[in-house]
Amino acid sequence: MAHRFELIVFDWDGTLMDSAGAIVSAIMAASRDLGLPLPSDARARHVIGLGLVDALSHAVPELAPADYPRMVERYRHHYLSSDRELSLFPGIFEMIAGLAGAGRLLAVATGKSRVGLDRALGHTGLGEYFHSSRCADECFSKPHPAMLEELTAELGVARDRTLMIGDTTHDLQMARNAGVAGLGVSFGAHPKDALLAEPALAIVETPAALVQWLHDNA
């Protein structure tokens, strides 16, 4: 395996875990609970990867600021009621274990909350492989570069030795804003044509293609 990148940072939802559909369903259900117009599937998918409050305010613009706490509560209720049924994409566990075994530093930069990420890391068994992580409730939300800036500083890795991998334009824009390389995956939340509009080393279309690209290039 080539050693172009010392630090590989992954988004979580839609990149490592097959959870985009569950997030969309939870947004729809929360909107229904509050009697709000249901966003389109495309609109709900577009906000995946943002911090929860930012995501809900964009997905459901009719939501009054005073109702944000109730909307967040209903979203979490619906998402957490089924998140134990979610799984990693095929081959992802083995890929992460292999990268860690090959000496790569691994991190997560996600729109999830810290509680949500820790829950997912524990459920999937991936927690032991990641050296650090940043979540939207403890850092500026994507596409602000803070998550990547903090991770590279904490782990002592130069930005030109860092790769950000994600399934949304927010991930690729964050990579650009932080001055690190980006790799897009089109099997998550955002469609390939949207990802192609952002700067990236490549856009891979399947989890197997991601595994192969990292083997050949990272």
pLDDT in 10s for each residue of the chain, 218 residues: 457 899 999 999 999 999 989 999 999 999 999 999 999 998 988 888 888 778 888 888 888 889 989 998 999 899 888 878 899 999 999 999 999 999 999 999 999 989 999 999 999 999 999 999 999 999 998 999 999 999 999 999 999 999 999 999 999 999 999 999 999 999 999 999 999 999 999 999 999 999 999 999 88
Shared domain for 206 and 102, answered yes or no, is yes
- The H-or-E segment that residue 8 falls in is strand 7-10
* Active-site residue, selected from the candidate residues 11, 18, 83, 167: 11
* C-beta separation of 148 from 132 below 8 A: no
Distance CA 41, CA 56 (A): 13
Nearest Cα to 14, choosing from 112, 103, 95? 112
Q: Is 41 a catalytic residue?
A: no
Among 84, 110, 131, which residue terminates a domain?
84
User: Which three-class secondary structure state does DSSP give residue 4?
Assistant: coil
Domain coverage including residue 134 = 7-19+86-217
Shared domain for 80 and 90, answered yes or no, is no
Whether the bond into 37 is cis, omega within 30 of 0: no
Q: Helix H segments across the chain?
A: 20-33, 41-46, 52-59, 68-80, 92-101, 114-124, 146-155, 169-178, 192-196, 207-217
Residue 74, phi then psi, degrees to nearest 5? -70, -40
Instruction: Tell me if 1 is assigned to some domain.
Output: no
Distance CA 165, CA 52 (A): 20
Shared domain for 114 and 176, answered yes or no, is yes
Distance CA 70, CA 185 (A): 33
Instruction: Tell me if 48 is assigned to some domain.
Output: yes
For the record, the structure tokens of 51 come out as 């911090």
Instruction: Tell me if 2 is assigned to some domain.
Output: no
* Active-site residue, selected from the candidate residues 13, 18, 83, 171: 13
Q: Is 137 a catalytic residue?
A: no
Interhelix angle 20-33/68-80, rounded to 10 degrees, is 130
Shared domain for 31 and 51, answered yes or no, is yes
| pLDDT score, position 1 | 43
| pLDDT score, position 2 | 55
* C-beta separation of 129 from 68 below 8 A: no
